[in-house]
Amino acid sequence: MKKRFKVNKLITYLLLSVAAVISLLPLYWVFSTSLQLKSFQDEELERPTSYVNANPPKMYPIGITEYLEHWGKARDAEKAGDAEQEAYHREVMSMIVKDTFSGFKNLFEKNQMGMWFFNSLYIGIVVTIGILLLDSMAGYVLAKKRFPGRNLIFWLIISTMMIPSQVTLVPMFIMIRDLGLMDTHWALILPDLSMVFGVFLMRQFMLSIPDELIEAAKIDGASEWKTYWKIVLPLARPGLAALGIFTFMNVWNSFLWPIIVLNSAKLYTLPVGLKTLQDANLADFKLLMSGAAIAAIPMIIVFLIFQRHFVKGLTLGGVKE
Amino acid sequence: MQLSARFKNAGESLKRTGKQMRKNYAAYLFLLPKLILFTLFIAIPVVWAFLLSFQEYQIIEANTFAGIDNYLKVFQSEAFRQALLNTTIYTVVTVPFNVITALIAASLIHSLGRFAQNFFRAAFYLPTVTSMVIIAMVWRWMYNYEFGLFNHVMGWFGMEPINWLGQTDSALWAIIIMQMLIPFGVGIILYMASMSSISDSLYEAATIDGANAFQKWLKITIPMLTPSTVYLTLLSTIGSFQVFTQIILMTGGGPGYATETLVHLIYKTGFRDFEFGLAAAQSVVLFVIIFIISVLQYKVLNRNK
**Does residue A111 contact residue A277 with C-beta atoms inside 8 Å?**
yes
**Does residue A200 contact residue B42 with C-beta atoms inside 8 Å?**
no
Which of A129, A141, A166 should be substituted to probe chain B, the one whose Cβ sees the most B Cβ atoms within 10 Å? A166
Q: What distance in Å separates residue A70's CA from the closest CA in chain B?
A: 27
Dihedral sign for Cα atoms in the order B92, B96, B99, B104: negative
Asked if A108 is an interface residue toward chain B (Cβ–Cβ < 8 A), one would say: no
* CATH annotation of A111-318: 1.10.3720.10
User: What residue spans in chain A does CATH classification 1.10.3720.10 cover?
Assistant: 111-318
Q: Cα–Cα distance between B175 and B165 in angstroms, integer? A: 8
Give ipTM to 2 decimals.
Answer: 0.88
* Residue-level pLDDT, tens digit, chain A, 321 residues: 456 667 888 888 999 999 999 999 999 999 999 988 887 665 555 555 677 877 777 888 888 888 888 888 888 888 888 888 888 888 888 888 888 888 888 889 888 999 999 999 999 999 999 999 999 999 999 888 888 888 888 888 888 888 888 899 999 999 999 899 999 999 999 999 999 888 988 888 888 888 888 888 888 888 888 888 888 888 888 889 888 988 999 999 999 999 999 999 999 999 999 999 999 888 888 899 999 999 999 989 988 888 878 777 777 655 433
Tell me whether residues B147 and A168 touch, CB distance under 8 A. Answer: no
Domain ranges, ordered by start, for chain B: 2-52, 71-301
Nearest to A193 by CA among A185, A182, A183: A185
Q: Give the pLDDT score at A321.
A: 34
Q: What distance in Å separates residue A144's CA from the closest CA in chain B?
A: 10
Q: Quote the CATH superfamily of domain B71-301.
A: MetI-like (1.10.3720.10)
**Which residue of chain A comes nearest to B283, CA vs CA?**
A167
Q: Cα–Cα distance between A117 and A119 in angstroms, integer? A: 5
Tell the burial category of B263 from Cβ atoms under 10 Å away from its Cβ (0-12, 13-18, 19+).
Answer: buried
Q: What percent of chain B has pLDDT over 70?
A: 90
Non-local (6+) Cβ contacts of A167 within 8 A are B45, B46, B49, B283, B284, B286, B287
Q: Give the pLDDT score at A319.
A: 41
Q: Which residues of A touch B279 (CB under 8 A)?
A: 169-170
Q: What distance in Å separates residue B164's CA from the closest CA in chain A?
A: 16
Non-local (6+) Cβ contacts of A100 within 8 A are A35, A36, A37, A61, A63
Count CA within 13 A, CB hemisphere, residue A31. Answer: 8
